Protein backbone atom coordinates (compact mmCIF):
# COMPACT_ATOMS: atom_id res chain seq x y z
CA UNK A 1 0.00 0.00 0.00
CA UNK A 2 1.69 3.17 -1.23
CA UNK A 3 1.08 6.72 -0.04
CA UNK A 4 3.29 9.19 -1.86
CA UNK A 5 4.22 12.69 -2.96
CA UNK A 6 6.13 13.05 -6.21
CA UNK A 7 6.90 16.65 -5.31
CA UNK A 8 8.81 15.47 -2.25
CA UNK A 9 10.74 12.91 -4.30
CA UNK A 10 11.98 15.75 -6.48
CA UNK A 11 12.67 16.05 -10.21
CA UNK A 12 12.31 12.60 -11.76
CA UNK A 13 12.73 11.84 -15.43
CA UNK A 14 9.47 10.27 -16.51
CA UNK A 15 7.67 11.49 -13.39
CA UNK A 16 5.11 9.24 -11.72
CA UNK A 17 5.49 6.53 -14.36
CA UNK A 18 9.16 6.09 -13.48
CA UNK A 19 8.45 5.79 -9.75
CA UNK A 20 5.65 3.27 -10.29
CA UNK A 21 7.70 1.22 -12.73
CA UNK A 22 10.55 1.06 -10.22
CA UNK A 23 8.25 -0.07 -7.42
CA UNK A 24 6.57 -2.70 -9.58
CA UNK A 25 9.98 -3.95 -10.60
CA UNK A 26 10.91 -4.41 -6.95
CA UNK A 27 7.63 -6.22 -6.26
CA UNK A 28 8.12 -8.57 -9.19
CA UNK A 29 5.48 -10.34 -11.25
CA UNK A 30 3.80 -11.76 -8.14
CA UNK A 31 3.49 -8.43 -6.34
CA UNK A 32 0.44 -6.19 -6.19
CA UNK A 33 0.64 -2.42 -5.70
CA UNK A 34 -2.29 -0.66 -4.01
CA UNK A 35 -2.92 3.07 -3.64
CA UNK A 36 -5.66 5.29 -2.21
CA UNK A 37 -8.02 6.56 -4.91
CA UNK A 38 -10.45 8.53 -2.78
CA UNK A 39 -12.81 11.26 -3.93
CA UNK A 40 -14.43 14.06 -1.94
CA UNK A 41 -15.80 16.19 -4.78
CA UNK A 42 -18.93 14.06 -5.23
CA UNK A 43 -20.14 14.44 -1.63
CA UNK A 44 -22.21 17.10 0.11
CA UNK A 45 -21.07 15.91 3.55
CA UNK A 46 -17.35 16.51 3.01
CA UNK A 47 -15.20 19.42 4.24
CA UNK A 48 -14.39 20.12 0.57
CA UNK A 49 -18.08 20.67 -0.18
CA UNK A 50 -18.66 22.86 2.87
CA UNK A 51 -15.73 25.07 1.88
CA UNK A 52 -16.88 25.27 -1.73
CA UNK A 53 -20.44 26.42 -0.95
CA UNK A 54 -19.56 28.77 1.91
CA UNK A 55 -21.15 32.15 1.19
CA UNK A 56 -23.26 30.91 -1.73
CA UNK A 57 -26.93 31.72 -2.10
CA UNK A 58 -29.39 28.80 -2.12
CA UNK A 59 -29.67 29.15 -5.89
CA UNK A 60 -25.90 29.01 -6.29
CA UNK A 61 -25.71 25.95 -4.04
CA UNK A 62 -28.36 24.20 -6.13
CA UNK A 63 -26.46 24.98 -9.33
CA UNK A 64 -23.20 23.78 -7.77
CA UNK A 65 -24.81 20.50 -6.73
CA UNK A 66 -26.01 19.93 -10.29
CA UNK A 67 -22.42 20.32 -11.52
CA UNK A 68 -20.92 17.95 -8.96
CA UNK A 69 -19.43 14.95 -10.75
CA UNK A 70 -21.12 11.60 -10.10
CA UNK A 71 -18.69 8.92 -8.96
CA UNK A 72 -17.93 6.22 -11.50
CA UNK A 73 -15.15 3.85 -10.36
CA UNK A 74 -14.02 3.33 -13.94
CA UNK A 75 -13.55 6.99 -14.87
CA UNK A 76 -13.63 9.36 -11.89
CA UNK A 77 -10.14 10.70 -11.09
CA UNK A 78 -8.89 10.42 -7.53
CA UNK A 79 -8.67 13.70 -5.64
CA UNK A 80 -5.81 14.78 -3.41
CA UNK A 81 -4.11 11.37 -3.53
CA UNK A 82 -1.15 12.53 -5.62
CA UNK A 83 -0.03 11.96 -9.20
CA UNK A 84 1.69 8.66 -8.38
CA UNK A 85 -1.52 7.15 -7.02
CA UNK A 86 -3.50 8.50 -9.96
CA UNK A 87 -1.01 6.94 -12.37
CA UNK A 88 -1.52 3.56 -10.72
CA UNK A 89 -5.31 3.94 -10.99
CA UNK A 90 -5.08 4.48 -14.75
CA UNK A 91 -2.67 1.64 -15.55
CA UNK A 92 -3.90 -1.12 -17.87
CA UNK A 93 -5.32 -3.92 -15.76
CA UNK A 94 -5.71 -1.79 -12.63
CA UNK A 95 -8.79 -2.42 -10.50
CA UNK A 96 -10.59 0.03 -8.23
CA UNK A 97 -13.00 -0.54 -5.39
CA UNK A 98 -16.47 0.92 -5.83
CA UNK A 99 -16.74 3.09 -2.72
CA UNK A 100 -17.75 6.66 -3.64
CA UNK A 101 -15.54 8.26 -0.95
CA UNK A 102 -12.67 5.95 -0.01
CA UNK A 103 -11.93 3.76 -3.00
CA UNK A 104 -8.61 1.96 -3.31
CA UNK A 105 -6.96 1.05 -6.61
CA UNK A 106 -4.56 -1.82 -7.19
CA UNK A 107 -2.57 -3.36 -10.01
CA UNK A 108 -1.10 -6.83 -10.00
CA UNK A 109 -2.26 -10.44 -9.68
CA UNK A 110 -4.21 -9.84 -6.44
CA UNK A 111 -5.82 -6.56 -7.49
CA UNK A 112 -9.34 -7.97 -7.86
CA UNK A 113 -9.09 -9.89 -4.59
CA UNK A 114 -8.15 -6.67 -2.78
CA UNK A 115 -10.64 -4.28 -4.37
CA UNK A 116 -13.80 -6.37 -4.87
CA UNK A 117 -16.64 -6.21 -2.36
CA UNK A 118 -16.01 -2.77 -0.85
CA UNK A 119 -19.25 -2.15 1.07
CA UNK A 120 -20.70 1.34 0.82
CA UNK A 121 -21.37 1.53 4.58
CA UNK A 122 -17.79 0.53 5.41
CA UNK A 123 -15.39 3.28 4.38
CA UNK A 124 -12.16 1.70 5.61
CA UNK A 125 -13.18 -1.18 7.87
CA UNK A 126 -13.67 -4.94 7.77
CA UNK A 127 -15.53 -4.93 4.44
CA UNK A 128 -13.02 -2.69 2.70
CA UNK A 129 -9.76 -3.34 0.84
CA UNK A 130 -7.83 -2.45 4.00
CA UNK A 131 -9.02 -5.62 5.68
CA UNK A 132 -7.98 -7.65 2.61
CA UNK A 133 -4.55 -6.03 2.74
CA UNK A 134 -4.33 -6.85 6.45
CA UNK A 135 -5.17 -10.48 5.73
CA UNK A 136 -2.54 -10.55 2.97
CA UNK A 137 0.13 -9.23 5.37
CA UNK A 138 0.79 -6.28 3.07
CA UNK A 139 3.49 -3.68 3.54
CA UNK A 140 2.92 0.08 3.71
CA UNK A 141 5.30 2.52 2.03
CA UNK A 142 5.07 6.18 3.01
CA UNK A 143 7.05 8.01 0.33
CA UNK A 144 7.48 11.69 1.06
CA UNK A 145 4.38 11.83 3.27
CA UNK A 146 3.76 11.51 6.99
CA UNK A 147 1.71 9.22 9.16
CA UNK A 148 -1.25 11.57 8.81
CA UNK A 149 -1.67 9.99 5.37
CA UNK A 150 -1.50 6.40 6.64
CA UNK A 151 -4.90 5.03 5.67
CA UNK A 152 -4.20 1.73 7.43
CA UNK A 153 -4.63 3.38 10.83
CA UNK A 154 -8.33 3.87 10.04
CA UNK A 155 -8.87 0.10 10.11
CA UNK A 156 -7.84 0.23 13.77
CA UNK A 157 -10.69 2.66 14.49
CA UNK A 158 -13.12 -0.13 13.60
CA UNK A 159 -11.30 -2.57 15.86
CA UNK A 160 -11.22 -0.46 19.01
CA UNK A 161 -13.47 -1.57 21.84
CA UNK A 162 -14.99 1.92 21.85
CA UNK A 163 -15.83 2.78 18.26
CA UNK A 164 -15.89 6.41 17.16
CA UNK A 165 -19.41 7.83 16.85
CA UNK A 166 -21.34 7.17 13.65
CA UNK A 167 -22.36 9.77 11.09
CA UNK A 168 -24.28 10.06 7.83
CA UNK A 169 -22.49 10.36 4.50
CA UNK A 170 -24.00 11.33 1.14
CA UNK A 171 -22.58 11.15 -2.36
CA UNK A 172 -23.71 11.42 -5.94
CA UNK A 173 -22.91 8.30 -7.97
CA UNK A 174 -23.39 6.85 -11.42
CA UNK A 175 -23.63 3.10 -10.88
CA UNK A 176 -25.40 2.10 -14.07
CA UNK A 177 -28.80 3.45 -13.02
CA UNK A 178 -27.95 7.03 -13.93
CA UNK A 179 -26.95 9.93 -11.72
CA UNK A 180 -28.40 9.64 -8.21
CA UNK A 181 -27.66 10.57 -4.61
CA UNK A 182 -27.01 7.83 -2.08
CA UNK A 183 -26.88 8.02 1.72
CA UNK A 184 -25.19 5.68 4.16
CA UNK A 185 -23.95 5.56 7.75
CA UNK A 186 -20.54 4.58 9.06
CA UNK A 187 -18.00 5.57 11.68
CA UNK A 188 -16.91 9.19 11.90
CA UNK A 189 -13.29 8.64 10.96
CA UNK A 190 -10.64 10.88 12.51
CA UNK A 191 -7.01 11.20 11.42
CA UNK A 192 -6.20 14.17 13.65
CA UNK A 193 -3.93 12.13 15.96
CA UNK A 194 -2.32 9.90 13.34
CA UNK A 195 0.98 11.81 13.36
CA UNK A 196 1.32 11.23 17.10
CA UNK A 197 0.21 7.62 16.70
CA UNK A 198 2.74 7.10 13.91
CA UNK A 199 5.57 8.49 16.00
CA UNK A 200 4.66 6.07 18.80
CA UNK A 201 4.56 3.17 16.33
CA UNK A 202 7.96 4.13 14.94
CA UNK A 203 9.47 4.02 18.42
CA UNK A 204 8.67 0.29 18.55
CA UNK A 205 11.37 -0.31 15.94
CA UNK A 206 8.91 -1.72 13.40
CA UNK A 207 9.63 0.89 10.72
CA UNK A 208 12.44 0.79 8.16
CA UNK A 209 13.52 4.26 7.04
CA UNK A 210 15.33 5.26 3.89
CA UNK A 211 15.62 7.86 1.15
CA UNK A 212 14.15 7.93 -2.35
CA UNK A 213 15.39 10.96 -4.22
CA UNK A 214 14.79 13.88 -1.88
CA UNK A 215 11.96 12.12 -0.07
CA UNK A 216 12.06 10.27 3.21
CA UNK A 217 10.62 6.77 2.92
CA UNK A 218 9.12 4.58 5.63
CA UNK A 219 8.32 0.90 5.12
CA UNK A 220 6.42 -1.26 7.60
CA UNK A 221 3.92 -4.08 7.99
CA UNK A 222 0.31 -2.97 7.61
CA UNK A 223 -0.74 -5.68 10.05
CA UNK A 224 1.75 -4.51 12.67
CA UNK A 225 0.64 -0.91 12.20
CA UNK A 226 -3.05 -1.75 12.60
CA UNK A 227 -2.44 -3.95 15.64
CA UNK A 228 -0.37 -1.24 17.32
CA UNK A 229 -2.89 1.46 16.41
CA UNK A 230 -5.79 -0.53 17.84
CA UNK A 231 -4.17 -0.61 21.26
CA UNK A 232 -2.88 2.95 21.06
CA UNK A 233 -6.23 4.43 20.07
CA UNK A 234 -8.03 2.47 22.77
CA UNK A 235 -5.67 3.92 25.37
CA UNK A 236 -5.13 7.46 24.13
CA UNK A 237 -8.35 8.60 22.51
CA UNK A 238 -11.08 10.10 24.69
CA UNK A 239 -13.95 7.68 25.06
CA UNK A 240 -17.22 8.76 23.43
- Tell me the CA distances in angstroms from 159 to 6, 82, 199, one per residue in order: 32, 28, 20
Give the β-pairing of 33-36 and 104-107.
Answer: antiparallel
Within 8 A by CB and 6+ apart from 122, the residues are: 128, 186
pLDDT at 163 over 80: no
- How far is Cα 119 from Cα 136, in angstroms, rounded to an integer? 19
Mean pLDDT of 214-238: 96
* Domain containing residue 145: 2-236
Q: Is the distance from CB of 137 to CB of 220 less than 8 angstroms?
A: no
- How far is Cα 106 from Cα 60, in angstroms, rounded to an integer? 38
pLDDT at 145: 98
pLDDT at 228: 98
**Helix axes 194-202 and 222-236, enclosed angle (nearest 10):** 120
pLDDT at 225: 99
Question: Over pLDDT 70: what percentage of the chain?
Answer: 99
pLDDT at 102: 97
Q: Which tens digits make up the pLDDT trace of 13-71?
A: 999 999 999 999 999 999 999 999 999 889 999 988 999 999 999 999 999 999 999 99
Number of folded domains that form the chain: 1
pLDDT at 240 over 90: no
Q: Which tens digits make up the pLDDT trace of 171-211?
A: 999 987 789 999 999 999 999 999 999 999 999 999 999 99
- How far is Cα 75 from Cα 90, in angstroms, rounded to an integer? 9
Amino acid sequence: MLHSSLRQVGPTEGGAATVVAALRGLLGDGGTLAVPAGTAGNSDTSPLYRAAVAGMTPEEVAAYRERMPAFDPATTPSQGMGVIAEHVRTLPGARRSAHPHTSIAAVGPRAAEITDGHARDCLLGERSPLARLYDADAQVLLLGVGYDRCTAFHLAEYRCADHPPRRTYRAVVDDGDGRRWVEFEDLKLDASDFSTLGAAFERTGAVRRGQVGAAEARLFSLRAAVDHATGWLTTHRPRP
